Amino acid sequence: MFGKLIGVQGNVLKIALDEDLNTFKVNRYANGKQPTVELEIADNRKISPEQRKKIFALINDLCSYTGDVPEYWESVFKYQVRETFGVPEFSLSDCSVLVANYMILVILNFLFEEDIPFKTKTWDSLPNEFPKQMLCLKNRRCVLCGKHADIAHYHAVGAGRNRNKINHVGNYIMTLCREHHTEQHKMGVKSFFMKYHIKPIKVTEDIAKQLKLGVINNVRQASNRKSSEENEI
C-alpha cells in the first residue's frame, strides 16, 4: 500500500493513503494485537553508477556460472522486481535508487537460493544494511563474506542448549561463518562490530516467524529486556 507523507510532529506521522484502508485485513494481520507498520520512504533519486556497477557485476558472475548472456538474466530479474514490488517498467539507465536496490536484492536472493557463487569483491561492495542482513539470515550466509554460516548471538545462548528451542525474540543476531565467528569471540563483540561496521538485527516476533527461528513463546518476557542491553550495541 502506498501513500504520501503530509505531516510530521515528533515521532507521529500523518500519511494520506492512495486508497482506502482495508481495516478487516489490518485486524486479521494484527491477530488481536496492536497493529504495527513498516515505513519505507521512496528514494526517487536516479540510480547511481555504483549501483549499476554492482547489478551488472552480479549478473556477470551469474552468467559466468550458467553460460547465459547477461541480457537474459537482466530481463528475468527486472520482471521479478516488477512482480514482487509492484513497480512499472523501468530501465537501469535512469530508474530510481529504490528500484535499483530492489534489483540488487532480487539478484542476491536468487544467487543465495540457487547456491551460485559470486566474487568476494562484489560481495564486499554491497552495503551492510538491514535487507542484506535479512537475506543472509534467511539463506544462512555470512554477512561479511557470503560463505555458509550459522546464527551468531550478541548475547551468548549457553553451551549445550538446543538452539532450535531457544526463544530468539528480543535477541540480537547475525550470520557469521566459522572463521568470522571465531574472530568475534577472540576480539570481543564491540571491537568486532567497530572493525567491520556492522550491527546485528534485533529479532521481533515477525522476524522469528519469517526466518523460522525456533520457538517464539514467552515473547513478552523476551521483548522486555533491560534497555541497558540494547545500549550495548
Residues 170 and 210 in one domain: yes
Residues 50 and 72 in one domain: yes
The C-alpha atoms of residue 219 and residue 95 are separated, in whole angstroms, by: 41
Residues 10 and 65 in one domain: no
pTM value > 0.85: no
**Is the separation of the CB atoms in 51 and 105 below 8 Å?**
no
Beta carbons within 8 Å of 30's beta carbon, 6+ residues apart: 36
Residues 51 and 112 in one domain: yes
For 32-80, write each residue's pLDDT tens digit: 888 887 776 665 689 989 889 989 999 999 999 999 999 999 999 999 9
Domain hosting 81: range is: 44-126
Measure Cα distances from 202 to 81, 134, 195, 228 in Å.
27, 11, 20, 14
Give domain status of residue 132, yes or no: no
Measure Cα distances from 129 to 143, 150, 180, 200 in Å.
10, 19, 18, 10
Residues 198 and 231 in one domain: yes
Give domain status of residue 100, yes or no: yes
pLDDT-derived band at 158, boundaries 50, 70, 90: very low
Residues 145 and 187 in one domain: yes
Residue type, 23: T
Domain boundary among 83, 101, 126: 126
pLDDT-derived band at 111, boundaries 50, 70, 90: confident
**Number of domains into which the chain is organized:** 3
Q: Which of 107, 128, 129 is nearest to 118 (CA)?
A: 107
For 165-195, write each residue's pLDDT tens digit: 566 778 888 889 999 999 988 988 888 888 8
